[in-house]
Structure 1
């Protein structure tokens, strides 16, 4: 699980979608999970994943909001209770996505958490004077934020790509993503990291006297 979490995430400085993840082992790589709800999973998780927790306080939640695929300029009023609610929703999403990635059944209790969050009013978007997508003026609430994330999850788990929720194919990575590519053959969280590392392993395995490694690119 070396690459599962970053301790901190930053928005890409380029037009390439995704977050820049910084694993504990060093370096950074761009990761696009393909959905807003799966971006939340880069902040920590349940059980053994608690060691990678980053949502410790409202400031951390605000950093995630700024770095997520939500458009810039969202003003959010966050408190400790809101952060706790974000962790509850994230845990449910983790278990649901992992179950789907491995062909298991989702826990009705987790589904209920998502549905309850989705039932609240979401963030209010509007068209700006310059034609850009903006957020309604005034501070939004964490409840609205979590509703938006949960509604994104409803769209994902009931939509055409629900069967494409996957875990990275590298043995030492647990990142989850949805493969929205047309061929549907994505295997890695990122070709920058796990894809290239596994290509190197496969190359070394083919050399005389090379040690066995994971297969190449999918």
Structure 2
């Protein structure tokens, strides 16, 4: 998984790459794994894995966290799992799980990454770039998303076997698929075959 501009390059079960833009930083964390059946996709095992995710995220410039620990990885996974359940609840019109709200709010309460201006006029992150600050930034993004104007645009991919979540930022609000190159294309192929079989 890596970011290209705004979006992640994911791979189909067959290994084919496709671009997936979830539309928000907090939703970029979700494809790293999750609870229950999602555990088989887990990629956050070591501090280096969390650092690699940060480098591929939409944060600009890509942050390079200092001194990440196993505790940071555990906190990242807990935050991600809470975000997954909250986004799923919002996408399907269910109440937000209180324990997950507490997890996100606790992470958001810590100081976030602080932008700074470098001597050459470029943007950087003020030191220290800690795991706690990284996760606070992600959690604050989630607070903004889930309480903001696009909260009702959080969607789960329309394919029955895909659970990727995204913000539908299309003007008509009709985005159905995680990616037209993946689930959207598979749907088109199935629909074409079904029409062909009816002829």
What is the TM-score with the length of structure 2 in the denominator?
0.94
Choose the corresponding residue for 1:100, options 71, 90, 100: 90
Q: How does 1:123-134 map to 2 (within 5 A)?
A: 123-129=113-119, 131-134=121-124
Q: How does 1:165-176 map to 2 (within 5 A)?
A: 165-176=154-165
Query: What CA deviation, in whole Å up to 9, does each residue of 1:90-146 have, x standing for no partner?
Result: 01000000111111111111001100100010001123455543212x341111011
Choose the corresponding residue for 1:55, options 25, 44, 61: 44
How many angstroms apart in 2 are the aligned matches of 1:139 and 1:177? 31
What is the TM-score with the length of structure 1 in the denominator?
0.86
Deviation for aligned residue 1:22? 1.9
Choose the corresponding residue for 1:192, options 177, 181, 185: 181
Given that residues 32 and 177 in structure 1 are in contact (C-alpha distance below 8 angstroms), is that contact kept between their aligned partners in structure 2? yes
1:160 matched residue in structure 2 = 149
Asked if 1:64 corresponds to 2:56, the answer is: no
Structure 2 residue runs without a partner (length 5+) = none
How many angstroms apart in 1 are the aligned matches of 2:13 and 2:196? 30
1:22 matched residue in structure 2 = 11
Choose the corresponding residue for 2:71, options 70, 81, 88: 81
Choose the corresponding residue for 2:3, options 4, 11, 14: 11
How many angstroms apart in 2 are the aligned matches of 1:116 and 1:171? 33
Structure 1 pair 11–163 and aligned structure 2 pair: CA distance change class (3 A):
same
Deviation for aligned residue 1:51? 1.1
Structure 1 pair 60–23 and aligned structure 2 pair: CA distance change class (3 A):
farther
Structure 1 pair 109–73 and aligned structure 2 pair: CA distance change class (3 A):
closer
2:35 matched residue in structure 1 = 46
2:191 matched residue in structure 1 = 202
Which has a greater percent of helix? 2
CA RMSD of aligned residues (A): 1.5
Given that residues 75 and 139 in structure 1 are in contact (C-alpha distance below 8 angstroms), is that contact kept between their aligned partners in structure 2? no
How many angstroms apart in 1 are the aligned matches of 2:79 and 2:73? 10
Structure 1 residue runs without a partner (length 5+) = 1-8, 211-218
How many angstroms apart in 2 are the aligned matches of 1:134 and 1:41? 25
State the aligned residue count: 198
Deviation for aligned residue 1:183? 1.3
